[in-house]
Amino acid sequence: NAGVTQTPKFQVLKTGQSMTLQCAQDMNHNSMYWYRQDPGMGLRLIYYSASEGTTDKGEVPNGYNVSRLNKREFSLRLESAAPSQTSVYFCASTPDREQFFGPGTRLTVL
Partner 1 sequence: RKEVEQDPGPFNVPEGATVAFNCTYSNSASQSFFWYRQDCRKEPKLLMSVYSSGNEDGRFTAQLNRASQYISLLIRDSKLSDSATYLCVVSYSSASKIIFGSGTRLSIRP
User: Is-contact 36 30, C-beta < 8 A?
Assistant: no
Alpha helices (H) along the chain: none
HSE-CB of 58 using CA atoms within 13 angstroms: 19
From 7, 19, 22, 50, residue interacting with partner 1 (rule: CB under 8 A)? 50
For partner 1, which is the closer residue by CB, 17 or 99? 99
Stretch binding partner 1 (CB under 8 A), from 17-25, 38-46, 62-70, 78-86: 38-46
Residue 12 binds partner 1, judged by CB under 8 A: no
21 Cβ contact partners less than 8 Å away, ≥ 6 residues apart: 6, 7, 8, 11, 34, 75, 76, 77, 78, 89, 91, 105, 107
- String marking each residue 87-106 x if it binds partner 1 according to CB under 8 A: ---x------xxx-xxxx--
| Binding flags for partner 1, 62-91, as an x/- string (CB under 8 A) | ----------------------------x-
Nearer Cβ to partner 1 (74/90): 90
